Structure 1
Amino acid sequence: MTNAIQWVRSLIFVVFIYAMMPVIGLLFLPWALFSRRGALEACKTWCRVVRWSAIWMVGLRTEVRGTPPKDEVLIAAKHQSFLDIILIFASLPAGKFIMKRELMYAPVIGQYALKIGCVPVDRGKRSQAIKKMVDDVSKGRQQPGQLIIYPQGTRIKPGVKAPYKVGTGVLYEELGQDCVPVAANVGLFWPRKGIMRKPGTAVVEFLPRIESGLSRAAFMARLEGEVESASNALMQEAGFDPEG
């Protein structure tokens, strides 16, 4: 019975937050059409609505640990669900994602994502997309801010192991920027698929930055070790054994 009630609450929550997306998008549209700042504020407002409503609708609190960077850096994060996207973006002054090209055509999300500077990537053509993005950044065509990438390429269920893809290493090496790793346990409460949202405290943690200048292999090994170790610690703190 308890699970059934939580599922109904979760359904109401999901409907509410997605209904608020076009509402906020339309309210901010006049500002967003002419200003990237307007688009950023619209997205951040929606993130605040999600975090606020999650507390009283499904009993899910959210916490951001560490120090979110304010300078131009590469953000390499653990990706477990849509919630880590929300928390990471809301914590940065000008976050922008490497995203699937299909999302460009999603109502509201696609238009605002392009406005804030997100970089569309074709599935199966990631290497070409990364090269083009590096070229665009070097020529000054990309919007300034914190570039967010998910090294494993997709959402990974807690406890499941998946390789870290070389694209993050290419960006780190070519852009010459520091990288800030981000750990998460959010998939325990907001799964990658389904309606159920579980009560508790979902956490993302900004870890100490990895300075630029490492070799690609050394960087990838350090990144994976730090993100996985910190994410496992956050999941254990929440009562989940990632090795079990």
Structure 2
Amino acid sequence: MILLRNLVFALFFGIGSVVIVGLAPVSALFGQRAMIRHATAWTRFHHQLVRWVLGIRVAVEGERPSGPALYAAKHQAMWETLELQMRLDGAAMVLKRELADIPVWGWAALRYGAIPVDREASAAALRQMIKDARRARAQGRSVLIFPEGTRVAPGETPPLKPGFAGLYGALDMPCVPVATDSGRCWPRKGLKRPGVITLRYGAAVPPGLPRRDAEALIHAGINALERRA
């Protein structure tokens, strides 16, 4: 049954994604807000398939700020990259440069306002990331970053990448840690399994703290669910 669920999910999400992403150029003609609505339709489609085909439910803990914020999230699966787009009202997401190079999808992501950054995190790349993030802030949007830089297995708590501190210092926005245990239901390798994924919004870290203090609070916040592992 689990294998069947995975096959049906892959089939429907794959076909649906081809159609939705293929129509992105049409939405792009009507501006960035239309692209954000288009992307949210895709992530809502994904959310429904995850719930009703894979049998994965979401338990949300904590509350978000009412206004724009910098969100720093745990990254254990592809799930949160789509789920958080839907839940954070179309936040501008920091993503790997190579994703922006994917034909059609990458172009649509840039039109949406995604913020690409090179893995090498050179000084020039970090400056461009901050510039793009400030543009999103000026538009009244939140910014989402996965500060560990890559997906990790449940229980792993690597240090934060330098890009997080640069964004935190430059944006002058409250920073909300987001913890998730998605890797339990959605492993990097193997079949996705029914269950409950917890998404926890931690206490917002105010802007202006010393770098070490801010990093310590965010690191603890995004790993808040790891103590249960």
What TM-score, normalized by structure 2, do the two folds share?
0.89
The question of 1:125 aligning with 2:121 is answered yes
Q: What SS does the aligned partner of 1:218 have?
A: helix
How many residues were matched structurally?
229
1:103 aligns to what?
Answer: 99
- C-alpha separation between the residues in 1 aligned to 2:187 and 2:203? 27
Deviates more, 1:153-162 or 1:130-139: 130-139
Identical columns (%): 33
Contact 2:100 2:107 in 1 (8 A): yes
Corresponding residue to 1:222 among 217, 221, 224:
217
Contact 1:58 1:198 in 2 (8 A): yes
Deviates more, 1:63-72 or 1:169-178: 63-72
Cα deviations by residue, 1:186-243 (Å, 9 ceiling, x for unpaired): 111112234x110011121222211111000111111112221x2225xx3xxxxx2x
1:232 aligns to what?
Answer: 226
Deviates more, 1:47-56 or 1:178-187: 47-56
Q: What SS does the aligned partner of 2:178 have?
A: strand
Question: Measured at CA, do residues 63 and 111 of structure 1 come closer, stay the same or move farther in structure 2, by a change above 3 Å?
Answer: farther
Q: Unaligned 5+ residue runs, structure 2? A: none
What TM-score, normalized by structure 1, do the two folds share?
0.84
Q: What SS does the aligned partner of 1:120 have?
A: strand
Structure 1 segment 163-174 matched on structure 2, within 5 A: 163-174=159-170
2:59 aligns to what?
Answer: 63
Contact 1:78 1:231 in 2 (8 A): no
Structure 1 segment 14-163 matched on structure 2, within 5 A: 14-27=10-23, 29-137=25-133, 143-163=139-159
Contact 1:21 1:108 in 2 (8 A): no
Deviates more, 1:131-140 or 1:103-112: 131-140
| 2:221 maps to amino acid | E
Corresponding residue to 2:196 among 178, 197, 201:
201
2:176 aligns to what?
Answer: 180
Q: What SS does the aligned partner of 2:110 have?
A: helix
Q: Unaligned 5+ residue runs, structure 1? A: 237-241
Aligned-pair RMSD on alpha carbons? 2.2
Question: Measured at CA, do residues 160 and 136 of structure 1 come closer, stay the same or move farther in structure 2, by a change above 3 Å?
Answer: closer
Cα deviations by residue, 1:149-176 (Å, 9 ceiling, x for unpaired): 1111100110123122222112111222
Residue 46 of structure 1 deviates from its aligned partner by: 1.4
Cα deviations by residue, 1:77-100 (Å, 9 ceiling, x for unpaired): 101011111221111123111111
Contact 2:130 2:166 in 1 (8 A): no
1:239 aligns to what?
Answer: none
| 1:207 maps to amino acid | G
